[in-house]
Amino acid sequence: MIGYLTGSVIKEASRNSNLVIDVNGVGYNVVVTPKTFSSCYNASGSVSLNIFTRVKEDGITLYGFENLAQLSAFEKLISIHGVGAALALTILASLSLNDLGEAILTNDVKLLSTIPGIGSKTAQRLIIELKTAQFGEIDHTISSIDSVAIGTGLGTKQVVKQALTELGYSQLEIRAAIEIADDDLSEEELLKAALKNLVSQH
């Protein structure tokens, strides 16, 4: 399976949201969002993309993303019943990851329903299933960490433990997630590292 590509864009062959990337003389057709297409198409020199490889009976399709966060979001989206690869790309093209995460956390059906191809029922399903997948949890928790302990005199680990406890994690899970993180981190950095460790375990 192809997981990553670095090469130059063959502009004559690339069109719409399909980039053709020349990697050592082999042209790979990669489906991307319009923003990624524009960014890569206009780049000088080589480009690099994280790749999701989809194998079906009618062929192999490569989907490209500029960072791992986008790739992870795409994988979560296509795991939801009724959300195919095309709709997942439309969602990622319509909202930033932060905005999408905030919409999930605040149950913003109205915003999600503005995305082409998504009705209210699909929006509600996205909210339920992506909350379970902890989509957007890291950014949301970091933005609200002031409310749990910063500035109260608690140590860095205690601040993070309290924040994770409020998110519903067990003390055993929290202890394990914090222990494998770097000691010399700020409260926000430790929280982010711990959440990533927790998410990777599920």
Q: Answer yes or no: is pLDDT of 34 > 90.
A: yes
Global confidence as pTM = 0.66
* Other residues' Cβ atoms within 10 Å of the Cβ of residue 149: 19
Q: Are 164 and 129 in contact (CB under 8 A)?
A: no
Task: Determine the average pLDDT of the residues in 21-28.
Answer: 96
Exposure of 62 by Cβ count < 10 A (0-12 exposed, 13-18 middle, 19+ buried)? buried
Share of residues in the chain with pLDDT > 70 (%): 83
